[in-house]
C-alpha cells in the first residue's frame, strides 16, 4: 500500500523487573519480534529505562543502522519522553519511535493468564512495529511564553503560590471570587497541633500579597473563559460589579454604619449579621467595601454618607477583562459537605446541631459572639458538647474518602472547650482517630490527658428534647459493645470536605479532568501531584483533594515552582502533530473549517482563484478532528496518519510474524 522503503526496526523488550518478565516469557517475545517484517534487531534488558538499558538503544541504532525504534515496556504516558530522548541520542529523529505497552495493557491485567498475556504482548508489539515502520521524522516547534502566571483562588494555597511566583520576579494575577482574599483559613480560629491563631499566621501573608509589586490581586472576579494553551493562555475574567470603586474606597466603614439592610454574613456562615454594603471580616484584604446588589434597596444613604470621596457607584456593571498568561495555578478550594443530607443527625432541624466550621466562627474572637460558644437555641453556655467525627466522610452513602482534617480539628475544638470553659466535657464519637502528621499523634495524647472523652462508634441518630432543646445522642460504643446515649447541649458535626460546587464549571473551562470523588485530577498521584493532564495548568490545595494547611502550603509551593518552569525557559516545545493540507487533494469544501475547535483552519483563495484550506500550525493542537472528516483525504494528521493507523489495524487482525 505504501511506497515507503522498508525500515530497519529495532525492538527492545523490557523485563521491568518481574512486572513484565514475571508473566510473559521475554525470550519468546524476543524470538517472535525477530520474525516481524522490517525488524532487524531485537534485544531485551531488565530495566530498559535505566542507563545501561538506554545505552543498548543508542549503540544498537549505530551498530545495526536502525531507522526506527520500538520499546516494549510500560505506558507511553509514562516513559515515551524517556525513550524518545534515548533514540534521539542515538541519532534518530525522536518521533520515529513507538512504545508497545505490554505492562499496563498486558502483563498487569492478565497476570493469571500468562499465555493470553503473551499472545496479547506479541500482538501489541506487532502493531507497534507496523506503525513504527511508517513513522516519519518531525521537527519540534517552539513557541514563546507569556511571562506571567494566573492563580485562581486566593485561599492559603493561592496566596502561597502567588507569593512564591511573585518573589521570583514573575507577574502574578491572583483571581478571587469573594470580596476578600483569605479563603477558608481566614474563618478558622486556631490551627492544630500548635494552636497558632489562624488569622495571626495568615494575615501577614494576605498583606504581603496586597503590597507585592508583582501581584495583581483581583477580588470579586471570576474566570469567564479560558482560551489558548501552555505559554499562551488568554483568560477572560469577569470583574463583578462591586458597587464601590476600589481606588477611591478607604475602608472607613461609614457607609455600612448607615445602611438600613441587614443580612446574614456568609463569612460567618450566616451566624452573624452584615449590611448590604459590607466587608466580610475585619482583616479583609483589600479593605474595600462591596455592595451586595441582591439585597441593596438603592436608598443611596451610603452614597450620601460617602460624600466627596465619591467611592460608591450603585449603577456599576460587570466588566470583562482579558489577561494573557503563560501558565495557570488552580487553587479553587473546598466546600463543606451538605450535612443536612444526613438527616439522622438533624442538622438544619435542631438548633443546637452545628458544623465544625460554625464552631470555628463561634470560638473566634472576631466571630459573631466575640469568641464564646453558645447554644444557638437560647444563647446559653453549653455544659456537654458532643462531636461527631467522620460526618459525611468514610461513608458509603455520602463520601467514601477520609477528609483528613476532621479528627485533628475536632481534637482542637475539644481542647478549646476545655481551655475556655472549664468544667465542660467534650465527647468525641469517632471511628478511628487519624493523627498522621508531624506532632499530630502527640496532640491526640495531650487532648486525652486533658480529659476529653472518647467513644469509639458512629452516632446512629440524634433526637431533640423539645422542651430544653437538648440533644440525645445515640451511638454504639464498639469497644465495649454496648449502646450509649448521651444528653448534650450542643453537637458539632465534623462535616466532610468536598470540592467547591463551582469547581466543576471552572474545570470545563480549563479542560482538566477530575477523579470520581469530583476533586481535580493530578497528572500522577505520587510523582506529579500538582500538574494536570493539560500542559501549563497546575493544582494547589483542596481542589485536588482534602488537605491540612501544611500539605496545602507545600503543594502550593510545588505548583508555583512547576508553573514557573516554562516561564523561565522562555519557550515551550509543542508536539509537531499538526494537521497538514495537501493542496492537490483539497477541494476547498470547507468542512474541516467548521470542525476545528480551535479555529486553526481558514479557507484561503489561491492565485488561480481556487479555495483551499490552510492550517495555522501554532493554533493547531493535533486532535485530528479535521482529518477524520475530510472527504477527500486531503488532510494528513502528522504522527497519526491514516496509513499508520490502518497498519496497526491490519497488524492486529491480519497477523504477521510467526
Partner 1 sequence: MAEEYKPKILGIVCNWCSYAGADLAGTSRIQYPSDIRLIRLMCTGRVDPLLIVKAFIDGADGVIVSGCHFGDCHYIEGNFKAAKRMFYLKRVLKSLGFDDRRVRMTFVSASEGAKWAEVVKDMINTINELGPSPLHKEAISASSGSAGFGGADTDMAEIAKAGKMLEAAPVQKK
**Inter-residue contact 506 to 330 (CB < 8 Å):** yes
**Cα-Cα end-to-end distance for the chain:** 22
Shortest Cβ 120–partner 1 spacing (Å): 5
- Candidates 203, 377, 582, 625; binder of partner 1 (CB under 8 A) is 625
Query: Judged by CB under 8 A, does residue 515 bind partner 1?
Result: yes
Smallest separation, CB 186 to partner 1 (Å): 31
Q: Are 270 and 264 within 8 A, CB to CB?
A: yes
Q: What is the CA radius of gyration of the chain?
A: 31
232 binds partner 1 (CB under 8 A): no
Residue 186 phi/psi, 5-degree rounding, is: -75, -15
Only one of the segments 31-39, 254-262, 346-354, 624-632 lies at the binding site for partner 1 (rule: CB under 8 A); that segment is 624-632
Q: How far apart are CA 474 and CA 397, in angstroms?
A: 19
Q: Which stretch binds partner 1 (CB under 8 A): 26-34, 81-89, 260-268, 643-651?
A: 643-651
- Residue 139: CB atoms within 10 A of its CB come to 8
Number of residues that bind partner 1 (CB under 8 A): 60
Among 89, 591, 603, 619, binds partner 1 (CB under 8 A): 591
Q: Which is nearer to partner 1, 128 or 217 (CB)?
A: 128
- Smaller CB separation from partner 1, 174 or 637: 637
Please pick, from the candidates 9, 42, 72, 76, the single residue that binds partner 1 as defined by CB under 8 A.
76
Edge-to-edge order in the sheet of strand 97-101: 39-45, 9-14, 68-73, 97-101
Minimal distance, residue 411 CB to partner 1, in Å: 32
Which residue has 477541494 as its cell numbers?
Answer: 587
Minimal CA–CA distance to 122: which of 108, 133, 106? 106
Which helix (H) or strand (E) segment holds residue 329: the answer is strand 327-330
Residue from 59, 262, 508, 568 binding partner 1 (CB under 8 A): 508
Instruction: State the minimum distance, in angstroms, from the CB of residue 508 to partner 1.
Output: 5
Nearer to partner 1, 352 or 532 (CB): 532
* CB count in 10 Å sphere of residue 557: 18
Strands (E), 176-293: 190-191, 196-197, 215-218, 221-229, 232-239, 262-264, 273-275, 277-278, 290-291
Q: How far is CA 487 from CA 352, 383, 386, 479, 495, in A?
A: 12, 10, 9, 20, 21
Stretch that binds partner 1, among 50-58, 209-217, 361-369, 618-626 (CB under 8 A): 618-626
Q: Does 247 bind partner 1 (CB under 8 A)?
A: no
C-alpha cell at 423: 468544667
Q: How far is the CB of 12 from partner 1 (least distance, A)?
A: 19
How far is residue 178's CA from residue 158's CA, in Å, rounded to a whole number? 13
Cα 566–Cα 569–Cα 572 angle in degrees, nearest 5 = 55
Among 58, 147, 372, 514, indicate the residue that binds partner 1 (CB under 8 A): 514
**Pattern of binders to partner 1 over 531-570, x per CB under 8 A?**
--xx------------------------------------
- Interface pick for partner 1 out of 35, 50, 140, 642 (rule CB under 8 A): 642
**Of 170-178, 396-404, 407-415, 510-518, which segment contacts partner 1 by CB under 8 A?**
510-518
Shortest reach from residue 639's CB to partner 1, in Å: 9
Is 479 within 8 Å of 456 (Cβ atoms)? yes
From residue 278 to residue 317, what is the string marking binding to partner 1 with x (rule CB under 8 A)? ----------------------------------------
Q: Toward partner 1, which CB reaches closer, 557 or 574?
A: 574
Nearer to partner 1, 68 or 163 (CB): 68
Q: According to CB under 8 A, which one of 594, 604, 606, 618 is a site residue for partner 1?
A: 594
β-pair type (571-574, 141-144):
antiparallel
Question: Contact, 279 vs 291, CB < 8 A?
Answer: no
Q: Shortest approach of partner 1 to residue 86 CB, angstroms?
A: 20
Q: For strands 39-45 and 425-430, give the pairing.
A: unpaired
Which one of 374, 484, 645, 657 is in contact with partner 1 (CB under 8 A)? 645
- 77-136 residues in contact with partner 1 (CB under 8 A) are 77-78, 101, 103-106, 108-113, 116-117, 119-120, 123-124, 127
Specify the pairing of strand 290-291 against strand 277-278. antiparallel
Cβ atoms 69, 57 nearer than 8 A: yes
Rounding to the nearest 10 degrees, give the CA dihedral for residues 621, 625, 626, 627: 100
Pairwise CA distance, residues 547 & 431, whole Å: 19
By the rule CB under 8 A, 481 interacts with partner 1: no
Q: Which of 250, 478, 511, 605 binds partner 1 (CB under 8 A)?
A: 511
Minimum distance between the CB of residue 625 and partner 1, rounded to whole angstroms? 3
Footprint on this chain of partner 1 (rule: CB under 8 A): 1, 75-78, 101, 103-106, 108-113, 116-117, 119-120, 123-124, 127, 508, 511, 513-516, 521, 533-534, 577, 591, 594-595, 597-598, 621-625, 627-631, 637, 640, 642, 645-646, 648-650, 652-655
Amino acid at each position: 500500500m505504501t511506497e515507503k522503503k522498508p525500515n530497519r526496526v529495532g525492538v527492545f523488550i523490557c523485563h521491568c523487573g518481574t512486572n513484565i518478565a514475571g508473566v510473559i516469557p521475554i525470550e519468546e517475545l524476543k524470538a517472535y519480534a525477530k520474525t516481524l517484517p522490517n525488524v532487524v534487531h531485537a534485544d531485551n534488558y531488565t530495566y530498559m529505562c535505566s542507563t545501561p538499558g538506554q545505552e543498548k538503544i543508542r549503540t544498537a541504532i549505530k551498530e545495526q543502522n536502525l531507522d526506527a525504534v520500538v520499546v516494549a515496556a510500560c505506558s507511553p504516558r509514562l516513559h515515551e519522553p524517556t525513550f524518545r530522548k534515548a533514540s534521539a541520542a542515538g541519532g534518530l529523529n525522536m518521533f520515529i519511535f513507538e512504545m508497545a505497552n505490554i505492562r499496563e495493557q498486558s502483563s498487569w491485567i492478565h497476570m493469571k493468564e500468562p499465555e493470553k498475556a503473551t499472545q496479547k504482548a506479541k500482538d501489541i508489539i506487532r502493531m507497534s512495529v507496523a506503525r513504527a515502520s511508517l513513522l516519519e521524522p518531525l521537527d519540534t516547534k517552539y513557541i514563546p511564553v507569556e511571562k506571567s502566571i494566573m492563580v485562581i483562588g486566593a485561599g492559603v494555597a493561592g496566596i502561597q503560590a502567588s507569593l512564591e511566583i511573585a518573589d521570583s520576579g514573575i507577574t502574578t494575577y491572583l483571581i478571587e471570587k469573594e470580596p476578600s482574599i483569605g479563603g477558608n483559613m481566614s474563618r478558622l480560629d486556631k490551627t492544630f497541633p500548635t494552636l497558632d491563631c489562624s488569622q495571626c499566621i495568615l494575615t501577614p501573608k494576605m498583606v504581603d500579597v496586597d503590597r507585592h509589586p508583582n501581584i495583581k490581586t483581583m477580588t470579586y472576579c471570576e474566570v469567564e473563559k479560558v482560551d489558548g494553551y501552555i505559554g499562551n493562555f488568554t483568560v477572560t475574567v469577569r470583574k463583578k460589579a462591586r458597587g464601590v470603586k476600589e481606588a477611591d474606597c478607604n475602608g472607613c466603614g461609614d457607609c455600612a454604619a448607615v445602611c438600613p439592610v441587614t443580612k446574614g454574613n456568609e463569612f460567618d456562615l450566616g451566624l452573624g449579621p452584615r449590611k448590604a454594603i459590607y466587608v466580610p471580616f475585619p482583616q479583609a484584604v483589600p479593605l474595600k467595601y462591596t455592595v451586595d446588589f441582591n439585597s441593596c434597596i438603592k436608598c443611596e444613604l451610603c452614597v450620601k454618607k460617602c460624600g466627596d470621596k465619591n467611592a460608591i457607584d450603585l449603577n456599576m456593571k460587570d466588566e470583562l477583562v482579558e489577561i494573557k498568561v503563560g501558565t495557570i495555578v488552580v487553587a479553587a478550594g473546598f466546600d463543606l459537605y451538605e450535612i443536612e443530607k444526613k438527616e439522622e443527625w438533624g442538622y438544619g432541624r435542631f438548633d443546637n446541631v452545628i458544623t465544625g466550621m460554625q464552631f470555628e466562627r463561634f470560638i473566634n474572637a472576631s466571630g459573631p459572639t466575640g469568641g464564646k460558644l453558645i447554644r444557638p437555641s437560647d444563647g446559653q453556655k453549653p455544659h456537654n458538647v458532643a462531636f461527631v467525627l467522620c460526618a459525611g466522610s468514610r461513608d458509603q452513602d455520602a463520601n467514601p474518602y477520609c477528609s483528613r482534617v476532621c479528627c485533628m480539628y475536632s481534637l482542637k475544638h475539644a481542647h478549646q472547650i476545655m481551655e475556655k470553659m472549664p468544667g465542660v466535657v467534650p465527647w468525641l464519637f469517632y471511628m478511628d482517630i487519624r493523627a498522621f502528621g508531624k506532632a499530630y499523634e502527640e496532640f491526640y495524647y495531650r487532648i486525652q490527658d486533658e480529659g476529653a472523652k472518647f467513644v469509639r462508634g458512629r452516632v446512629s441518630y440524634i433526637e431533640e428534647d423539645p422542651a430544653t432543646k437538648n440533644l440525645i445522642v445515640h451511638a454504639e460504643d464498639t469497644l465495649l459493645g454496648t449502646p450509649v446515649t448521651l444528653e448534650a447541649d450542643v453537637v458539632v458535626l465534623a462535616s466532610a470536605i468536598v470540592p467547591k460546587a463551582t469547581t466543576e464549571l471552572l474545570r470545563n473551562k480549563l479542560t482538566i479532568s477530575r477523579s470520581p470523588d469530583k476533586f481535580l485530577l493530578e497528572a500522577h498521584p505520587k510523582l506529579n501531584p500538582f500538574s494536570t493532564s493539560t500542559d501549563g495548568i497546575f493544582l494547589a490545595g483542596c481542589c485536588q483533594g482534602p488537605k491540612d494547611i501544611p500539605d496545602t502550603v507545600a503543594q502550593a509551593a510545588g505548583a508555583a515552582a512547576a508553573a514557573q518552569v516554562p516561564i523561565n525557559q522562555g519557550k515551550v516545545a509543542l508536539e509537531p502533530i499538526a494537521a497538514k493540507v495537501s493542496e492537490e487533494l483539497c477541494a476547498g469544501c470547507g468542512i474541516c473549517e467548521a470542525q476545528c475547535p480551535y479555529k486553526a483552519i481558514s479557507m484561503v483563495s489561491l492565485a488561480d482563484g481556487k479555495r483551499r484550506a490552510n492550517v495555522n500550525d501554532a493554533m493547531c493542537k493535533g486532535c485530528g478532528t479535521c482529518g477524520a472528516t475530510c472527504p477527500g483525504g486531503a488532510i494528513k494528521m502528522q504522527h497519526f496518519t491514516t496509513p499508520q493507523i490502518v497498519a496497526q489495524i491490519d497488524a492486529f487482525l491480519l497477523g504477521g510474524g510467526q
